[in-house]
């Protein structure tokens, strides 16, 4: 085997969207009602301290309530109510995001019923009839061996060490079709809570008590195990810093107002000003409207919703950090077989030698493949039928025929008909040797055809016959890896997102290059070993790039652990699932592309709503500041560009808008901003136009409309 190589291949064409998308968007209004008790419970300062922005709003609401009790007015109590609603709405956003996962958690808990495990007191392959002990599934320890038969529930996560069985994993994956689990190989892992449908297996438990796959999923969907990601922590620090700055800025208005009042004793008291300076409720209103309450209220919900969107696609993320890292991925490593290609080579062409008709070659190829039960053999039969119009035939139609099944030793399949006509199909070397053994000759053109197919990355199978005592070669079947439909477009999409795709394969460089060019990936790693994958990931990371990859085998575990986003297949080994930071329950390697899109959507949603939150503070500033000081400084009336009815209505309208906009943005936070693959500069420009400019315009419109409604309420003159 030659040294692994990485070569560049050309880029491709315009992308189209593909893949199944599951909407995680708008919530049911009933969910709001169900989540309201949780939102009220989150008013506890011991819970709210994790969100410093909303903690400041709650403190302000408490202070305003005290002031309203001391000096009750309609304006004061109306403002207090909306200040409390601001905090409740913020908690509601998080409660709704968490509430959507509780139904999933309840379903998963049903899989954790009081399962009884048939544990072996001692087990190894040499014991014919080991002693069984019946214990509760929750008492199982790592390393225990249990037996599970048809109709029984697998009591815990583990690996099959003996036997083979059909397993129903619908309780975990939602997929009704059963899967095969067997000892050895990369399809030995089983999940607790799934049901064995047939046969008998022995499972070695690999989980610690309370840390099963279902336990992790329940904690994930309920949000209990969600930790803030580095970017989220950084944004929280920024929001806290802005809040502190505005606290000091608003606090300085009090001494300035007292000084201004003392300098102008003839100015009458107003809503915002009295003999002691700025009234407390107005100060709180100004502070709440200026600090970034919108993004502070929605930040946690955005993160939870991002995790939820993965769960809806049957992907279990072990941490929010992994989801966030997916949005920043620069390099995508994808296995060729099963990910880029269908996994089995299929017949793609029949190439006859000179003097042989293509239809004659197709007929011989089909007959000689009827006894070949491999995927490649079946594809030849199907291709001959579809491409050349041959009718479907079976081995029972030819009485007296002797069928030659394909074996790894002979590397041929075929048939000996009753009239002495013999047909063979198989590897070039084996068939050529058979023809020569029958006294036939091999035309030089065959070698050129075989070499040409091999050079293009395909697999040549030669077809020959013995008819009338004469042996001859008929032609060559071109088997090739079939690239999955839409893969080139998906890779084009990745390229537009600024992501470099690398195909990993054990094929020789020539074959790998042909597949890479057809699929449209950027680079490829040929003749790759586990050490080569690990080295490639480290090389990319040394250049400051984030790397994502998929894997399912024990030999993939080191690379999955090293990758920034390691997606293990649920059908894979326990070692692979423990090494990765995500598990795809559907075991679809191409889903890595969707995971990257979800990660990017999470980052874009957070950035867009942060932009909107900071931008809409500008309009609220123009609503409250003129209302506060216009009585003392009439010239500030110029800033009252919305021409609001009165200082009272202006301040209350701003507070009401500040609360309502949180509820209005909850669907967007849960669904996520619509993501279209594009460059970073275009995405930035789009967000600035839509959410930056929109964040400035929306409050002007909203506050004015609210003002038009509340101006008729008492105390608003």
pLDDT of 165 above 70: yes
Residues with catalytic function: 335
pLDDT of res. 148: 92
What's the DSSP call for residue 337? B
CA–CA dist 136, 119 (Å, integer): 9
Q: 41: pLDDT confidence band, cut at 50, 70 and 90?
A: confident
Most confident of 55-59, 97-101, 577-581, 582-586: 55-59
DSSP 153: B
Q: What is the pLDDT of residue 70?
A: 87
Mean pLDDT of the chain: 79
Per DSSP, the three-state class of 546 is: coil
How many CA atoms does the CB half-sphere of 559 hold within 13 Å? 29
Closest CA to 117 of 170, 74, 153, 78: 153
Is pLDDT at 164 greater than 90 in this prediction? Answer: no
| SS3 assignment for 592-642 | HHHHHHHHHHHHHHHHHHHHHHHHHHHHHHHHHHHHHHCCCCHHHHHHCCC
pLDDT tens digits, one per residue of 510-566: 778 888 888 888 999 888 888 888 889 999 888 888 898 887 777 778 888 888 888
Q: What is the pLDDT of residue 262?
A: 62
Sign of CA dihedral 661, 664, 666, 670: negative
* Predicted model pTM: 0.65
Domains of the chain: 29-99+225-309+598-711 (no CATH), 116-154+157-206 (2.70.150.10), 332-340+484-584 (3.40.50.1000), 346-480 (3.40.1110.10)
Does residue 23 register a pLDDT over 50? Answer: no
Annotated binding site for ATP: 372, 376, 406-413, 425
The rounded Cα 46 to chain-centroid distance in angstroms is: 32
What tens digit of pLDDT does each residue of 169-189 get? 776 665 556 778 888 766 788
Residue numbering of the annotated binding site: 372, 376, 406-413, 425, 552, 556
Q: What is the pLDDT at residue 715?
A: 67
327 close to 602: Cβ distance less than 8 angstroms: yes
311-328 per-residue burial string, b: 16 or more CB within 10 A, e: under 16: bbbbbbbbbbbbbbbbbb
Share of the chain above pLDDT 70, in %: 81
Window from 294-303, 679-688, 701-710 with minimum mean pLDDT? 679-688
Question: By the 8 A CB rule, do 673 and 612 touch?
Answer: no
Give the other-Cβ count within 10 Å of 189's Cβ.
25
Distance from C-alpha of 623 to C-alpha of 636, rounded to nearest angstrom: 11
pLDDT tens for each residue of 138-156: 788 888 999 998 888 888 8
Pairing of strands 500-504, 331-335: parallel
Q: What is the pLDDT of residues 623-653, one digit of tens each?
A: 777 766 666 667 767 777 777 777 788 888 8
Question: What is 401-447 written as a DSSP string?
Answer: -EEE---TTT-EEEEE-TTS-EEEEEEHHHHHHHHHHTT----HHHH
pLDDT in tens, 445-499: 888 888 888 777 678 889 998 888 888 888 998 887 777 777 888 888 788 878 8
In 3D space, the residue among 13, 122, 214, 24 whose CA is nearest the CA of residue 668 turns out to be: 24
Collect all residues with Cβ–Cβ distance below 8 Å to 360 and sequence separation of at least 6: 352, 474
* Environment class of 344 (CB within 10 Å of its CB; exposed 0-12, middle 13-18, buried 19+): middle
Annotated binding-site positions for Mg(2+): 552, 556
Question: Quick one: pLDDT at residue 6?
Answer: 34
pLDDT tens for residues 109-142? Answer: 655 556 788 888 887 776 767 888 888 887 888 8
Least confident of 98-112, 208-222, 650-664: 98-112
Write the pLDDT tens digit of every residue in 65-76: 998 898 888 888
């Amino acid at each position: 085997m030659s040294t692994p190589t990485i070569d560049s291949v050309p880029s491709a064409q315009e992308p189209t969207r593909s893949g199944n998308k599951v909407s995680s968007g708008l919530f049911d209004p009933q969910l709001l009602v169900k989540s309201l008790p949780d939102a009220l419970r989150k008013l506890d300062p011991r819970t709210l301290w994790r969100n410093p922005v909303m903690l400041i709003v709650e403190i302000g609401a408490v202070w305003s309530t005290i002031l309203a009790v001391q000096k009750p007015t309609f304006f004061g109590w109306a403002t207090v109510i909306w200040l409390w609603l601001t905090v409740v709405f913020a908690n509601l956003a998080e409660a709704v995001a968490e509430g959507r996962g509780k139904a999933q958690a309840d379903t998963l808990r049903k899989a954790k019923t009081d399962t009884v495990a048939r544990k072996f007191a001692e087990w190894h392959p040499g014991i014919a009839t080991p002693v069984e002990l019946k214990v509760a599934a929750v008492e199982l320890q790592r390393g225990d061996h249990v037996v599970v038969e048809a109709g029984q529930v697998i009591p815990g996560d583990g690996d099959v060490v003996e036997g083979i069985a059909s397993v129903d994993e619908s309780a975990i994956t939602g997929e009704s079709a059963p899967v095969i689990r067997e000892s050895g190989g990369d399809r030995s892992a089983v999940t607790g809570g799934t049901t064995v449908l047939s046969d008998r297996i022995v499972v070695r438990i690999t989980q610690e008590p309370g840390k099963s796959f279902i336990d992790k999923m329940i904690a994930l969907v309920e949000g209990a195990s969600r930790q803030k990601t580095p970017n989220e922590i950084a944004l929280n620090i920024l929001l806290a810093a802005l809040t502190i700055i505005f606290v000091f800025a608003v606090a300085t208005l009090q001494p300035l107002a007292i000084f201004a009042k003392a300098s102008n004793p003839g100015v009458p008291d107003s809503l915002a000003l009295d003999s002691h300076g700025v009234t407390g409720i107005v100060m709180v209103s100004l502070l709440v409207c200026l600090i970034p309450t919108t993004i502070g209220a929605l930040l946690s919900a955005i993160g939870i919703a991002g995790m939820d969107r993965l769960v809806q696609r049957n992907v279990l993320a072990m941490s929010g950090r992994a989801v966030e890292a997916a949005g920043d991925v620069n390099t995508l490593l994808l296995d060729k077989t099963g990910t880029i290609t269908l996994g089995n080579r299929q017949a793609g062409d029949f190439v006859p030698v000179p003097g042989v008709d293509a239809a004659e070659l197709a007929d011989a190829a089909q007959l000689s493949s009827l006894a070949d039960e491999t995927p490649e053999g079946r594809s030849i039969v199907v291709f001959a039928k579809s491409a050349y119009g041959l009718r479907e035939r079976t081995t029972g139609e030819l009485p007296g025929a002797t069928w030659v099944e394909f074996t790894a030793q002979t590397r041929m399949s075929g048939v000996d008909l009753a009239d002495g006509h013999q047909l063979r199909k198989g590897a070039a070397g084996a068939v050529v040797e058979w023809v020569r053994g029958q006294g036939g000759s091999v035309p030089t053109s065959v070698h050129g055809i075989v070499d040409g197919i091999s050079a293009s990355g395909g697999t040549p199978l030669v077809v020959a016959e013995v008819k009338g005592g004469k042996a001859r070669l008929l032609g060559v079947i071109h088997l090739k890896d079939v690239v999955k439909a839409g893969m080139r477009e998906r890779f084009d999409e990745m390229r537009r997102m600024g992501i470099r795709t690398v195909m990993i394969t054990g094929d020789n460089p020539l074959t790998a290059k042909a597949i890479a060019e057809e699929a449209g990936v950027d680079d490829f790693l040929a003749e790759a070993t586990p050490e080569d994958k690990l080295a490639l990931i480290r090389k990319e990371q040394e250049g400051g790039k984030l790397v994502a990859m998929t894997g399912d085998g024990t030999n993939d575990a080191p690379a999955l652990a090293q990758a920034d986003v390691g997606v293990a297949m649920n059908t894979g080994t326990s070692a692979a699932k423990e090494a990765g930071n995500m598990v795809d329950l559907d075991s679809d390697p191409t889903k890595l592309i969707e995971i990257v899109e979800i990660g990017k959507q999470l980052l874009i949603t957070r950035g867009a709503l942060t932009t909107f939150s900071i931008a809409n503070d500008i309009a609220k500033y123009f609503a409250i500041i003129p209302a506060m000081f216009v009585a003392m400084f009439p010239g500030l009336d110029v800033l009252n560009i919305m021409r609001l009815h009165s200082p009272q209505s202006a301040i209350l309208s701003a507070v009401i808008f500040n609360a309502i906009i949180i509820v209005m943005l909850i669907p967007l936070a849960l669904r996520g901003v619509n993501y279209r693959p594009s460059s970073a500069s275009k995405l930035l420009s789009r967000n600035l136009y839509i959410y930056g400019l929109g964040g400035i315009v929306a409050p002007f419109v909203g506050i004015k409309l609210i003002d038009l409604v509340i101006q008729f309420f008492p105390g608003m003159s």
